[in-house]
Each structure stands twice: as structure tokens, then as C-alpha cells.
Structure 1
Amino acid sequence: MDRLVKADVKELELDFKRGQNCTKTFRLSNLMHTMSVAVSLTSTNPSLFSFNQAFSIIPALSSASYTVILSEPSDRPPLTTPPDVITVKSSVLPTGKASQDDLRLLFSKPGRYIFRDASITLSFVGPHVVEHLISHNTQIREIDSFLNKAVSGCNGSQLTALMKKAVVSGKLNLVGALIDHGGDVNVRDSDGRSMISVAVQAGNIDVVKTLIASRCSIDNSIDQVLHLAAAINRADLMVVLCANYKNLDVNSVDSSGRTPIHIAASCGFRGVIRFSLSIGGNPEIQDNDGCTPLHLAAEKGHLDAVECLLEASTYSKYALNKQGKTAFALAIDNEHSGLYDLLHLGDVLNRAARIDDLNGIKGCLAKGVKVNGRDQNGWTPLHRAAFKGRIESVKVLLSHGAHVDVVDYNGYTPLHCAVEAGHMQVALLLIAHGAKANVKSLKAVAPSNFNRFKNHLQDSCNEKENGLT
């Protein structure tokens, strides 16, 4: 016979509660038909675990109950890898009687009559263990080894109560385990928000995908998930959300009247702005203070966001908030001089070039306005001056570095504009400064203007060859 007693379990699950005594009872049965058996219980961690009877005697064909006790209540479960175990040793006791000291002496040294009958693994279960795994930076391999045991000691309501903490932690295996064991993904937090909102705010896209796959629902009147994603610069989360929740509205507003584009503009998140625009976002919506997204971006000095919004918006540059201020005025108030050109001075330069206001042009350029700045059509000041035939303005702009062959968003150069409007002297001046005058590049202009320009150019060339000019 290789053992004298048999344990009724191979593993003991202790229901751990912070700061409370933790105990678990198990039974040992004597397999001997005629003799009593002496039993010794020890653990791999005697400083933590004790027993109601470490040494005992079990009569023939009888059984006895034993209790393992977590000696010192703690705020955290004593999780170890490998887990602690109880070792059960036994020895035949023909007399059936012995004192505790005699039993202690019997098991104090190994011998041929001492049997190692069982090793019982100690595991900790319950919501406090799961909460510990969520809250502490336990290594992933350790979490995996303890998690399934821990959740087995929780009921559905306890698992559901732990859902928010798991989602906030971003630990995907914990979230998955709670769901797999009966946690309700459609529980809402104290603010009435869904777990999707909680996951988006935490910024974990894998947890978001897991919740979506588990049919987590949202309430658009409460769960402003696009706003939350915009606030943390996560266009990737917005892509996933829009792909799975078809009723999301990128132009929905929060309690301040702001859309996700407002949120992104205030933070300077250009990628979020671009994605929002690509799915129908309106950059000209005004919030409760009358501010467009451009107002907010200008107020904070976010250059990239301002450029992006100006490309998408025709009117927001001129919109007034409830204080009667434009985005340009807010940039001035906050001394964001790098935005002056985009928000206002570029318009002033374009107007000066259009009406041939040479002093206005020079004044703008002296303030640092970009001579090659574009408007919403891609026109530079040189395009405007050329189209209006303002030859003196063209000269000033060229002398300050205006590009002669810059093309607008329809492929037109300043030379195209001059020819289209019939301003031959301006066209010749541009060509003299390197503008390319070939038939292919000028096919876009009106045929009559092109033919007139072509003939005029040929005449000018002939005059030069004959020494007439």
C-alpha cells in the first residue's frame, strides 16, 4: 500500500475577503480496515497558513474534518507562483493512541513508515481576488494562472460589479474572463454610461472591440463616444465605433453645444478633425458660446488644426461668437501671431492685390504675411493680381518672392489667369520672370483669349528679332 489516507479534494478554494479571516474545511479518510492512522498536516508557507489540528489520529475506516486557516487577515490575497500546497503525511498507529508530542516526534524525521499521501493545492477565489488582479500591476502570466480560479468563486452580480474596473484597467484577459463567466456587458456606471463609453475614455481599442463583439449597446443621448474618442486624439477608435454603430452622428452636440470637431479643434488634434470631416462633420456649427471649431483652435493657437479647418470651411473665418469676436480676434487676444496670416492678413493681402493697393501689399508683407499663401480655391495673391491685370501689384509680389508657376486647386497658374482675362502685358511680365508659356499648359483657358495671346506673343518675338524693340 502506497498511502494510508485519502483526501476528498485535490484543491481547496479559499473565499478571500480583505481584512477578514479566511478558512476552508476538507476531509481525510483512513483507508486501513483494522488500524488507526496518525496524520500530519503542513503547508509550504507556515507563516501564512495554520490548521485546527496539525497532528491527529483517524480510527480504522473512519474520516475526519480539517480546517486550513489564513493566519493573518490581509488587504491582498497571498498569490504565489507556484501556489501554496498542503502536504498530508501519515503513519500506521497500531496502538491507536498517542499524545501531540508523540505525534510531533513521529513526523519530525523521515522514515520508511512515513507516507506522503496527498498534496492539496491552495487557491484564492472571490470578487476581492479579481479586484486585486484588476487593480495591481500583476504580470500577465500570473493573472492568467489565477484568474479562472478567482472568477469561479464569484456570482453573476459580483462579476458585473467588477466590469467597469476591468474595462478601465485595459486588461483584455480580465474583461474577457468576466464576460465568459457571466458578467453583464450592458451594465452602466453611476453616470448611466455604457461600458463602451468607459472603454473609449480609457483608450483601449481591443477592449472596445471585445465589448462590441459581446453586443454591448450604447445610448446616444448619454454615450457620446465620438466626443470621448476625439478628446484623447483617437481617430482609430472613431473608425471602429462608426463601423459598428450605424446611428452615430458626428454632428451631435454635448451639453456645451460642441461637436467632436469642436473637441478636437480645442486640443489641436488634426487627424481627428480630418476623420470627422470625412464622415460628414460640419466645421461651421457654433457652440453655446457662438464659437465654431475654428474659434477654439485659434484661441489655443493650434496651427495645424486652423489650417485643416480653413480648408474645409468657407464662412467660419468670418463668424462672430457671442462676444462679437472672430477667430482672428481670439488669436490676437491670445498673441498667437503665427495665425494672423491664415485668419485675416492673408485676406487683406489678397484684397490689396486685387485692387492694386501697393502700399497695402507692402504693409502686409512687412508684417510677415506669406506672399504665396492660398485662399479656399488655392489662389495666391499673384493669381488675383494677374487675373485683375494689376501689373504694378504683380511686380511687387514677384519682387517679394511670389512663385510664378504655382497652380490653384483646378490646375491654373497666374499666367493662365492673366491670359483668361486678356491681360497680355501681365502675361508677358510673368513669362519674363520664368512662367512657362506653352500650348499644353494653356489649353484650359478660353480659345479666343489663348489665340489672341499666342498671336500677340508671336508678334512680340518677331519685333525683337527684327530689332524693332
Structure 2
Amino acid sequence: MERLVEAFEEEVRINFELGCKCRATVRLRSLSSTTAVAFKVQTSSPHKFLVNPPTGLIPPLSQATFQVILKPQTHLPTSFPRSPSDRFLIKTAPAAEPISATSTGSPISIHPDWINSWFSTNPNLPTYDLKLKVAYVGLFLLRQAVSGGETHAAKNIIKRQKSILPELSSQETESLLSAACQCCDPDNMIGLLLEAGLKTDSSVRVKLNDKMSAPIDSRLESKGWTAIHVAAAHDQVEELSRLIKELADLETDGSGLATLDCRDKDGRTPLHLSASRGNLKCAKMLIEAGADKNAKSFDGRTALYRAAAGRDTKMAALLMEMGADPTNTVDTTGRTPLEIAQEKGNVKVIEILEQRELMLTAARRGDLETMRGLLKRGAKANHSDQYGLTTLHAAAIKGHKEVVCLLIESGIHLECVDKEGHTALHLAVEGGSLEIVELLVTRGANVNAKSKKGVTPLYLARAMGYEDITQFLFRRGACSSSFPSSSSMSSMLQC
């Protein structure tokens, strides 16, 4: 039975507190484009959980939600954040024909008893079962983990709730650090909290520094973090913006500290930290400012590898959109981001990483239908290969007019360049297609764009003997006065 739905999260994450009801909302997405999907939710712990509603119907390519309610508990979970004994099973099946016929994308109102009865009276119904694990999170349990010196539990709660530390009040921060100071391994626990984004003001530092073997600020310095590492790791967008502007006015002094790709003691750049923590705005800001999106830390991992290993779909999508290379391998293991995503079993990340090759192949072949299908499923138009050649470059040099039109309509930047600074117009000229050249120029491509070696489309057209393209570019305002030296022509043709 093929997969009919997917959950937005692989776990039911419950913000736990003693003695009160705790709720979590689970979102499901239909993967069927033609048929409504019925679902029925079952739990391994019915004495602990209520589900509302326990059954439902999802229209084609639509979404549905249900709420999990944990009854008031008098004891802590036996293990957290992951609870092996608590699980949910979501049974799904294509809805009956009369219901499917009414599924037009708007919510469908069907009484739960009807769906329950339908599942019960159709024991041989082909179903697809979706399994969700349970994780208990929240500040209450984080404080328990910190005070008990349970570093692994604390780390995994923070991993599941990336905003939990930055959003704490000053009083909550002081309380958490005080608990860390009293645990069996205060240095490691406090280091974990600070590196994960716990913000401390001057009053908290004064109160706690005398209790610690090393001051708070020096703990981050001991990791080799600069101010830009701290801002990127802690999702301090405004501070990162200010630091980037400062760096733009500085010259590197040879130590590498005045660059966007400065390294900590593990060889991690600020982009690595942003990617590991899911800080999308910071990651995008760093790349747009010129950070190396394919930089490797000392363990050989790139930012994209870290996003794939962490099952971070949004970060993987952003990095791919910004041109990160999914074929880069970890030096020690030889594994790529795609291979680690396959190992982790994250279908969405796998699809995102595979989209680059599918998009580029469709562009090279002029496969319009495949390209349309990929774009409809959320693929980005501006995927590029290891040489910086985008889908627009690939379609332009091959003369695939319909694909070029589709890519432009999809919003791809006409002036995107490869690693040698060539635009799509350069490659259209190289491919000798007057039709593609006319199309790109008509849509706004810069006729005087220069590669890194100073080569313009007009220079290229003349050098390659394309008289019709040369005349067209002249008529559209191409400048004939600034050509590179003749000695650069041979090197340009070798690019």
C-alpha cells in the first residue's frame, strides 16, 4: 500500500508539566491528488491519552489536525524526552467512492462514528499505517534534566525545542543556571546551555560567575567562538547584521578572524552553527553576504550535511536554494548529505536533495513536463551544479526555449552567474541560439554583463563568428568599446 499521508513532525511532542492537562497538535498532510483519505488514531497508552478527534477525513492534497491530550500526571515520565512505551498509530485508507467524489479540497464534515464503523466493517481494507513516537519536552522537564546532571536528556529537549532557551525570562535563566551550578557536572551542563543559546545579562553574570570555575563569557571564548559565531548560533539576527556590516569595512589581518568564514576550535564557521541550529534567517544572511556555503569543518561536514543529518527540512531546502552542493563528501567517511539523509530515513530531505539533479537533468534535456512537475512539487528553479551552472544556464546553452520561459516565469534571476561569472545570456550565445538570446534580452537580461575575465556576450558572439547574434546585440545596446584583451580569449574559451 503506498503512502497516503505524512505528518509534519515525526514525533508527538508534549510540553510536560505535573498535575495538569498537556496538549499537542498533530498535523497531517494528504499525499493523494485524487482521493480523500480517512484516518483513525490509536494509542499504545489509552489510560494516559485522549485523542480529539480520533478519526477524520483529509481532502486530496489538503491538511487535517487532531489533538493529543495527556491526562494530568502525578509522576515524571519514566524516560524523557523520548518515551519508548508511548506511541501513536495512524491507520489511513482511501475513502469510499461516494466520499471521494465530494472531495474538492475543502474540509469534509463526516461524523467520527461513520468512519469508525467504516474501518470496522472493512477488515480487509488496504491501509497504510503511520507510526508516531512520543517525546516529552518543555521547561519543567529541562529544569529536571539540568538539576539532575542529565546532559543527554537536556541536549535532546533543546534540540526538539530550539526556541526554549532564547525565550526564557531573566529570572528563568538565573534559575536554570543556578540548577546547573548545583548538578554533578556543572561545567559541561553550563557549557551546553550557553552554546545552545541561553542569554545572560550582566546581572545574571555577576550573580553566577563566582559560583563557576570559569566565567560565563570565557566559556564561549574557550570554544574559539567569535562574536559572529555567537550571533549566528543564538539566532541574533540584528546583531549578526551589524557584525556583517562591520566585517565588510575590515581587511583580513591574515588570521582569518575578520571573515565570515572564521573557524572555531572544531573548524566550524558561523554558517555551520546556523545550519545545525535551524537558524534560517542567519544562514541566509551569511550566504548572501558571501559566506562559503560549502565550507567544511575539521570533521569534513558542510552546513548542508549538518542540516541533512539533523533532519532539518527547511534548512536543507534553504541551503539547496542558495546553491549548496549536495555531492560534497565527508572526508573521513565519504558520505554525502543525500546518503546521510537516506540513512536517517527523512523522506522530505531526500526529496529536496534529489531535486537538484532532477531539475538540472530536465533543463539539459528540455524536459518541460518533468520540469513543471518538479516546480509544482516545490522544487526551486535556481538549483546549480558544482560549477555554479543553474537550470537556466543549462537550458539556455541547449536552446530549450520552452524550458527557459518556464524558468523565467518561475522567478529565476536572469543575472545568476556560474563560478566563472557567466550569465545565462553568455551561455545562450555560446550555444549559438539567436532565439534564446532574443528571449533573454527581451525579458531583461543585461546585454553588457561581464564574466570574471571581462568577457561580454557581444565579445563572445563576435569571437565565435555568430554574425546574427552579434548584430542583434548591437541593436539592443551592447557596448563595443570595452572588450577584454585578446590574450584572455583563449583562456575564456577554456572555462
- Normalising by structure 2, we get a TM-score of 0.38
- Normalising by structure 1, we get a TM-score of 0.40
Larger Rg: 1
